[in-house]
Amino acid sequence: SHPLMDFDPELALALQNEARRQEDHVELIASENYASPLVMAVQNSVFTNKYAEGYPDKRYYSGCEHVDVAERLAIERAKELFACDYANVQPHAGAQANAAVFLALTDPGDTVMGMNLAQGGHLTHGNPANFSGRHYEIVPYGLDPQTGLIDYDEMQRIALETRPKMLIGGFSAYSRHMDWARMRTIADRVGAFFWVDMAHVAGLVATGEYPNPLPHAHVVTSTTHKTLRGPRGGLILSRGQDEAFYKKLDSAVFPGIQGGPLMHVIAAKAIAFKEALQPEFTTYQKQVVTNARVMAATLQARGYTIVSGGTDNHLMLIDLSTKPYTGKEADAALSDAYITTNKNSVPNDPRSPFVTSGVRIGTPAVTTRGFGEQECAQLAGWMCDVLDAMEAGGSTLTTVRDRVRGQVVDLCQRHPVYR
Ligand code: PLP
């Protein structure tokens, strides 16, 4: 028997069930992925035992010579991957990287401009429930209601009127390219810092499938676990700024908002960045984008509306606002068929953020497990079957759901994640 099962059967069972769920369900949550066995092995290593407050060669504790190697490797690889000259690999997660940028470049009460959460922005870009919304004067920008695309003219108008100290680019639910150059021009016109949070598209940026914000932004943050496919974690990057600016960013992470860095996670980031530098990672990211296009086209061919009319990255939003059911209900029905998505607001959503009129899907995880165009078209077709059946309701839905669940499990078993 397994030592974990002997010591803690309750937890062991939860872990076993989660492993099974990840194998048997199709994962379409756009922010999720499957880290490699090497990434997970290093994250599960003795590096977890080491305190290393400070930075390589400038630690507050002894015995850091080996964790220093790991952190230096992570830093150098991150710089190579994103073509920049500064990297801080210590933020525990994306939210911490973002908090550090706020702390480094702004003061509480400053005006900051970010994408409206309801239209694709992230909580840490100024939501009232988040520290960013509580401590700053947030002016949101958003989408053109006609096209579903970012309205840059309106963004510029608001910026000129409110003169923010910082302009935030980046998103959690936008399926098109962001015009980094245009946003930098707007920031320059009002003397604002331009910060891009590329968490969702970092993997695509690393391989050139999505425009790199680093030539345009003063600072870029990311997570390491979405398209980038590393351990859960955060990252801060910059290029072309002076040493004082970089020092400010470092000090904002430690001692600004964090204590000891998670050295096991930093070591796993080093592995993930090395993986991302391999040619296969480019092949993977190209397939992520191709798969997303195929899913969007299949959904559209079956009469479903994709916000902005399609996708140029790894994700898309299905607009269900004309349907008799909600995003929440669609999410639940798909989940019953072992297809995991998340409910998401659509532009001008008449329903609350807890109910919504949309579903967000993304292809990073299914592409990692080897789904290509054929599997993605099939999958999108099954989703349409379930959604169509929701309009019919009753026993039709039950029948379709059970049939799709069987097909999903079968497809998943032909594409195991960790075998
Ligand atoms: N930034 C963006 C754009 C995100 O989508 C997310 C995660 O959903 C985050 C930051 C936060 O990352 P974390 O969950 O690691 O704190």
* Residue 53 designated active-site: yes
Q: Of the candidates 267, 255, 234, which has an alpha carbon nearest to the alpha carbon of residue 66?
A: 267
Mean pLDDT of 114-133: 92
Based on DSSP, count helices (H) and strands (E) in the chain, helices before strands.
16, 15
Would the annotation count 334 as a binding residue? Answer: no
> What is the C-alpha to C-alpha distance for residues 411 and 375, in angstroms, rounded to an integer?
8
> What is the C-alpha to C-alpha distance for residues 35 and 374, in angstroms, rounded to an integer?
24
CB 288 within 8 A of CB 227: yes
In this structure, the residue with its CA closest to atom 5 of ligand 1 is 172
Q: Which tens digits make up the pLDDT trace of 223-272? A: 999 999 999 999 999 999 999 999 999 999 999 999 999 999 999 999 99
Above 90 in pLDDT, residue 385? yes
Tell me which DSSP letter residue 84 carries.
Answer: -
Task: Pick the range with the lowest mean pLDDT from 108-112, 142-146, 406-410.
Answer: 142-146
> What is the C-alpha to C-alpha distance for residues 143 and 147, in angstroms, rounded to an integer?
8
Q: Is the CB of 200 under 6 A from ligand 1?
A: yes
Residue 263: CB atoms within 10 A of its CB come to: 24
- In degrees to the nearest 10, what's the CA dihedral of 80, 84, 87, 91? -100
Q: Which tens digits make up the pLDDT trace of 351-368? A: 999 999 999 999 999 999
Q: Which tens digits make up the pLDDT trace of 206-219? A: 999 999 999 999 99
> What is the C-alpha to C-alpha distance for residues 44 and 203, in angstroms, rounded to an integer?
23
- Give me the residues paired with residue 235 across strands: 222
> What is the C-alpha to C-alpha distance for residues 390 and 379, in angstroms, rounded to an integer?
17
Would the annotation count 56 as a binding residue? Answer: no
* Residue 223 designated active-site: yes
Would the annotation count 204 as a binding residue? Answer: no
In this structure, the residue with its CA closest to atom 13 of ligand 1 is 94
Q: Separation of 291 CA from ligand 1 center, angstroms?
A: 23
| pLDDT of 258 | 98
Query: Mean pLDDT for the chain?
Result: 97
> What is the C-alpha to C-alpha distance for residues 86 and 76, in angstroms, rounded to an integer?
9
Cβ-count burial of 265 within 10 angstroms (0-12 exposed, 13-18 middle, 19+ buried)?
buried
Would the annotation count 117 as a binding residue? Answer: yes
**Is the backbone of residue 317 left (phi > 0), alpha (psi -120 to 50) or beta?**
beta
Mean pLDDT of 327-332: 98
DSSP 173-192: S--S---HHHHHHHHHHHT-
Residues with Cβ within 8 Å of 172's Cβ and at least 6 positions away in sequence, in order, are 31, 120, 121, 122, 199, 200
Q: Separation of 122 CA from ligand 1 center, angstroms?
A: 7
| pLDDT of 194 | 98
Please measure the distance between the N-terminal and C-terminal CA atoms of the chain and give it in whole angstroms.
Answer: 21
* Residue 85 designated active-site: no
Q: Separation of 391 CA from ligand 1 center, angstroms?
A: 34
In this structure, the residue with its CA closest to atom 9 of ligand 1 is 94
Q: Of the candidates 95, 123, 403, 348, which has an alpha carbon nearest to the alpha carbon of residue 224?
A: 95
Above 90 in pLDDT, residue 172? yes
